[in-house]
Amino acid sequence: MITMDELHAFVIGFFEVLCPWKPGHLMPMEYPSPLKGEYHYYLAGRGIGLVALILIVIGLCKLGKELLL
Protein backbone atom coordinates (compact mmCIF):
# COMPACT_ATOMS: atom_id res chain seq x y z
CA MET A 1 0.00 0.00 0.00
CA ILE A 2 1.30 3.46 -0.86
CA THR A 3 1.86 5.88 2.02
CA MET A 4 1.39 9.64 1.98
CA ASP A 5 5.18 10.21 1.98
CA GLU A 6 5.56 7.97 -1.06
CA LEU A 7 2.71 9.72 -2.87
CA HIS A 8 4.09 13.14 -1.92
CA ALA A 9 7.56 12.24 -3.21
CA PHE A 10 6.02 10.99 -6.49
CA VAL A 11 3.95 14.17 -6.96
CA ILE A 12 6.96 16.39 -6.22
CA GLY A 13 9.01 14.57 -8.86
CA PHE A 14 6.16 14.57 -11.40
CA PHE A 15 5.39 18.27 -11.24
CA GLU A 16 9.04 19.24 -10.94
CA VAL A 17 9.50 17.98 -14.50
CA LEU A 18 6.04 18.81 -15.87
CA CYS A 19 6.39 22.45 -14.80
CA PRO A 20 10.08 23.13 -15.53
CA TRP A 21 10.19 26.78 -14.44
CA LYS A 22 11.76 28.01 -11.21
CA PRO A 23 9.55 28.07 -8.09
CA GLY A 24 8.12 31.42 -7.07
CA HIS A 25 8.87 30.86 -3.38
CA LEU A 26 11.88 28.99 -2.03
CA MET A 27 11.16 26.71 0.91
CA PRO A 28 13.73 26.61 3.72
CA MET A 29 15.44 23.24 4.11
CA GLU A 30 14.53 23.13 7.83
CA TYR A 31 11.21 21.41 7.15
CA PRO A 32 11.18 17.60 7.08
CA SER A 33 11.43 16.38 3.52
CA PRO A 34 9.32 13.47 2.22
CA LEU A 35 12.14 12.72 -0.23
CA LYS A 36 14.59 11.42 2.37
CA GLY A 37 13.32 7.84 2.50
CA GLU A 38 11.26 7.75 -0.69
CA TYR A 39 13.75 8.85 -3.34
CA HIS A 40 12.78 6.04 -5.74
CA TYR A 41 9.19 7.37 -5.84
CA TYR A 42 10.59 10.83 -6.57
CA LEU A 43 12.60 9.43 -9.50
CA ALA A 44 9.56 7.52 -10.79
CA GLY A 45 7.54 10.74 -10.65
CA ARG A 46 10.24 12.57 -12.60
CA GLY A 47 10.30 9.82 -15.25
CA ILE A 48 6.54 9.79 -15.72
CA GLY A 49 6.47 13.60 -15.65
CA LEU A 50 9.02 13.70 -18.47
CA VAL A 51 6.95 11.27 -20.55
CA ALA A 52 3.82 13.36 -19.88
CA LEU A 53 5.63 16.56 -20.88
CA ILE A 54 6.83 14.98 -24.13
CA LEU A 55 3.32 13.75 -24.94
CA ILE A 56 1.86 17.21 -24.22
CA VAL A 57 4.41 18.88 -26.50
CA ILE A 58 3.75 16.34 -29.29
CA GLY A 59 0.00 16.88 -28.91
CA LEU A 60 0.39 20.65 -29.07
CA CYS A 61 2.57 20.35 -32.18
CA LYS A 62 -0.03 18.15 -33.89
CA LEU A 63 -2.80 20.57 -32.91
CA GLY A 64 -0.79 23.51 -34.23
CA LYS A 65 -0.14 21.67 -37.48
CA GLU A 66 -3.86 20.94 -37.93
CA LEU A 67 -4.82 24.53 -37.20
CA LEU A 68 -2.28 25.99 -39.62
CA LEU A 69 -3.07 23.68 -42.53
Task: Give the three-state DSSP class for 69.
Answer: coil
pTM for the model: 0.76
Residues composing the chain = 69
pLDDT tops 80 at residue 13: yes
CB 49 within 8 A of CB 11: no
Q: What is the pLDDT of residue 65?
A: 93
Helix residue ranges per DSSP H, 1-69: 4-18, 39-68
| CA distances to 1, 2, 57 from 5, in Å | 12, 8, 30
**Residue 12 — pLDDT band, cuts 50, 70, 90?**
confident
Q: What angle do CA 19, 21, 22 make, to 5 degrees?
A: 125
15 or 55, greater pLDDT: 55
pLDDT digits (tens, 9 = 90+) for 35-69: 777 888 888 998 999 999 999 999 999 999 999 88
